[in-house]
Amino acid sequence: MMDPIFNPAAIIAWGKSVGVATLMSARWGWASVEVIHFIGICLLFGTVGMFDLRMMNAVRGISLMALHRLVPYGVLGFALCVMTGALFVIAAADQYLYNPAWQLKMLMLVIAGVNMAAFYLTTFTRLAALGEDDAPPWTARLFAAISLLSWIAAITAGRVITAYRPPGWFWCAWCQ
Amino acid sequence: MQILAWIEQTALSVFVRQDDYAYFWLLIAHALGMALLVGGGIAISLRGLGVASSARLERFAGFIPYMWLGAALAIVSGLGLLIGYPAKALTNPIFALKFICLIGAALLIQRIVRGQRPPKQMRMMAGASLALWLAGVACGKLLLHTYTILMITE
């Protein structure tokens, strides 16, 4: 079978040429990158999750705009996850690209990203006037619920990645 | 060591190891529980360090029940994982270090959300709890890479 989009062998070879393979196969390389990846997840899930819980009105007593000051640390966490996640994929491209759990995780990230973009474009500025104990409008609650669920699903799918050891092209819907 | 060998042979331990799904459900629950607990802990530590200072610190107590939910998920699933491979964890000193870090961090968070501390003391407590959460996560992840005995029997 041919993959018209990705060339895992070329990705792995490139990783060898730029030192990713050396880093990831070092004694504590893969383990350290895993540690940073999960710390990134905690930063993201903790800060954005708190914002989502407040926006769902599951927690009261804090103004959304005050709580939003924590979100840049969630962005930092996401950046850590993207960088460390890229190292995993570059080091073992075939084990991720054709892995249904990884594919599902990427889909969840797309859903979370589209949801976030729609939230900031349509609803965020309208929340500025809300006080500490005000209940957010239902559109905001819906955005928050989708956000929370998509991150939970992304963590779940990510944890299952190691359950699959794709034998070549088995989980490749786009291959010919 | 005998008791670890006995645990390994219980029906529950064999089930955790041999069932196609049990181990992964436990891993999923453990990851979600830890993300909820540690994520909340890191966020409250950041607030203690002065981030988002317009949000009143005592009001973060509203998030503590969600952190307890995470802790409950992590503890129940962690017990399941422990029953599956008791010797793997209990012969690794990093397993003990993980709990020292996480319990220390949790105790600090309980004090931090009460507020009413001099700013300098608050920052010291928040910095310590942040460091302990990160160290606890590092120890947890390293358990996979540092064990010397996987099983006593088999």
Residue B64 lies in a domain: yes
ipTM of the complex model: 0.95
Quick check: B123 and B50 in contact, CB under 8 A? yes
What domain range is B131 assigned to? 2-146
**Is pLDDT above 70 for B121?**
yes
Q: What is the pLDDT of residue A147?
A: 98
Chain A residue with the nearest C-alpha to that of B30: A159
DSSP string, A77-123: HHHHHHHHHHHHHHHTHHHHHT-HHHHHHHHHHHHHHHHHHHHHHHT
Asked whether residue B126 is domain-assigned, the answer is: yes
Chain B residue with Cα closest to A42:
B39
**Residue B149 reports pLDDT greater than 90:** yes
Each residue's pLDDT tens digit, A133-167:
999 999 999 999 999 999 999 999 999 998 888 77
Is A59 within 8 Å of chain B by CB?
yes
How many domains in chain B? 1
Q: What is the mean pLDDT of residues B78-97?
A: 97
Distance from CA of A43 to the nearest CA of B (A): 6
pLDDT in tens, chain A (176 residues): 688 899 999 999 999 999 999 999 999 999 999 999 999 999 999 999 999 999 999 999 999 999 999 999 999 999 999 999 999 999 999 999 999 999 999 999 999 999 999 999 999 999 999 999 999 999 999 999 999 999 999 999 999 998 888 776 678 888 87
Question: B47 in contact with A at a CB cutoff of 8 Å?
Answer: yes
B142 located within any domain: yes
pLDDT at A168: 64
Say which of A30, A50, A159 has its CB closest to residue B63.
Answer: A50
Task: Look at residues B102, B108, B93, B107 and name the one whose alpha carbon lies nearest to residue B136.
Answer: B102
Q: Residue A101's closest CA among A170, A23, A39, A44? A: A170
Name chain B contacts of A39, Cβ cutoff 8 Å: 134, 137-138
Average pLDDT over every residue of B107-132:
96
Segments making up each domain of chain A, as ranges: 8-163
Calculate helix-pair angle for B11-18, B22-48, nearest 10 degrees: 90
